[in-house]
Amino acid sequence: MTAAPPDRGEDPRRRIPRTDDLLALPEVVDARTRLSETVLRSLVTHAQSRARSGEINPEDVTPAVRAAVASRNATILRPVLNATGVVVHTNLGRAPLPPAAVEAVVASSGYVDVELDLVSGQRAKRGTGTRQALLAAVPAAVHAAVPEGLDALVVNNGAAALVLATTALAGTGELIVSRGELVEIGAGFRLPDLITSTGTRLREVGTTNRTHQADYADAIGPQTTGLLKVHPSNFRVDGFTSSVSIAELRTLADEEAAGRGDGRPLPLIVDIGSGLLTPDPLLPDEPDLAGALTAGADVVIASGDKLLGGPQAGILLGRRRTIQRLATHPLARAVRADKLTLAALEATLTGGPSPVARSLHADPARLRERADRLAAAVGAPVVAHEGRVGGGGAPGVPLAGWAVRLPEELAPLLRTGEPAVLPRVHDGACLVDLRCIPEPDDGRLADAARAAQARLASKNSSRSPGSTGDHPDQSHGSGR
């Protein structure tokens, strides 16, 4: 709003409401239950500053404060409708929690018996319910394959789980790993750097595309303290390739342990990454926890917020003696999971299907019906569109589906609208894929798309021809 011309007889800034009066507004007083005094004062002073600079009239300060308080939340994080077709979207927080997990987080936000036996009143093992849920989720055949018994441990993320396992089991000795499995994960972090940061030494064997059992056998020596197998994430190596299976590495580890004669085991650590509990026919090349354990891993590492569909967590599942060794290592305390994570993970395992599972296995015919309805509502065509698993899981595996094709100029308007919608911008178009949109939100998505179209139309109509220097027929695409 343009400020009114100042009265030459009076400084208009004198009409700006006092801070105390603004803080006493009923809307501000009511907001003290959800916003801190510091935040409320900052909203007040910001509105006053706008008036002092002439951006708004002094009379508009009070309405501005009311509006700012009404729209301000305690966090700047905004809920987003994921219309990209990428199920495990790292930039959007990876897996959306199942309803049961959300309820568990709320329930555990107060005092809970996370480390207490209510019957005896004594301290108890931390996260017992989550551990039991993990073990119950493993098929009976896996338990039978490990006669000594299985155990589980949860830490704060997958990288922490890998660092804990390699540090506690390999120590400062040599950990043998294939060169083709020395991967880089998100934000430029590299697994070799994470592993060696606590003193473990890596012994690389094989080549980028081919590693054989003999490569491991030739490298094993007196300094060897473990074998590591990492499932590559975010990429695939095709063509002239070979790798060594978990079962083959188990054989090598057992032979080496027997040859040493001191009863000292050679641990086999397997990082499968994305966290499938059991095989999924949709993702035939994606390893799973059950399969890795059956094949002979001492401990299997996975993330909780990828294909498992739960909260960010590092899951360590393996032989009882191995997990107990990890749980008692000093580093375990530094990376332990909090009560909210433990509650959400337990509920993910014991509750109904996760949003990740629903999105992965969405019916293409139903997706087409929903896309057709959205297309009719916004006057746009439907095109075939392949979604992706995301989060490093099943790289290159397409998820057949559909998208509504909108002009590329709508993408920033959708992202900044209410609700915020993240589409995929590709090949000069804004593609809206409903795979990861909860069906009850279809109406909100349509409203958001229509609002973005209206904003774009208003923006275009306010321009006079040639005012931007563009030729009337010039495309406003990305120029790619």
Say whether pLDDT at 62 is over 70.
yes
Say whether pLDDT at 470 is over 90.
no
Task: Identify the burial level of 467 via C-beta atoms within 10 angstroms of its C-beta, where 0-12 means exposed, 13-18 middle and 19 or more buried.
Answer: exposed
- Calpha distance 194→183 (Å, rounded): 11
Q: List % helix, strand, coil for the chain (3-state, nearest 5).
A: 40, 20, 40
Looking at the whole model, is its pTM more than 0.85? yes
- Residues 109-149 pLDDT 10s: 999 999 999 999 999 999 999 999 999 999 999 999 999 99
- Residues 277-315 pLDDT 10s: 999 999 999 999 999 999 999 999 999 999 999 999 999
- Calpha distance 428→107 (Å, rounded): 46
- Calpha distance 275→289 (Å, rounded): 7
- Calpha distance 257→248 (Å, rounded): 14
- Residues 162-213 pLDDT 10s: 999 999 999 999 999 999 999 888 778 899 999 999 999 999 999 999 999 9
**∠436-442-445 over CA atoms, to 5°?**
90
| Cα-only R_g, the chain | 28
Nearest residue to 394 (alpha-carbon basis) of 157, 191, 233: 233
With cut-offs at 50, 70 and 90, classify the pLDDT of residue 460.
Answer: confident
- Calpha distance 273→175 (Å, rounded): 19
If one counts every other C-beta atom within 10 angstroms of the C-beta of residue 255, the result is: 13
Say whether pLDDT at 159 is over 50.
yes
Residue matched to tokens 């099943």: 394
Name the 3-class secondary structure at 318: strand
Above pLDDT 90, what percent of the chain? Answer: 85
CA dihedral (349, 187, 166, 311) in degrees, to 10, reads -10
Tokens of 162: 């890998």
Q: Which pLDDT score, from 0 to 100, does residue 340 have? A: 98
Q: Which pLDDT score, from 0 to 100, does residue 314 have? A: 98
Nearest residue to 17 (alpha-carbon basis) of 64, 55, 53: 64
Rounded to the nearest integer, the mean pLDDT of the chain is: 92
Number of helical (H) and strand (E) elements in the chain, helices listed first: 19, 14
Q: Which pLDDT score, from 0 to 100, does residue 20 have? A: 96
Q: Count of residues for the chain? A: 480
Q: Which pLDDT score, from 0 to 100, does residue 475 have? A: 32
Q: Specify the pairing of strand 299-303 against strand 399-407.
A: unpaired
- The arithmetic mean of pLDDT across residues 55-63, rounded, is 96
Q: Which pLDDT score, from 0 to 100, does residue 189 have? A: 84
Q: Which pLDDT score, from 0 to 100, does residue 88 have? A: 97
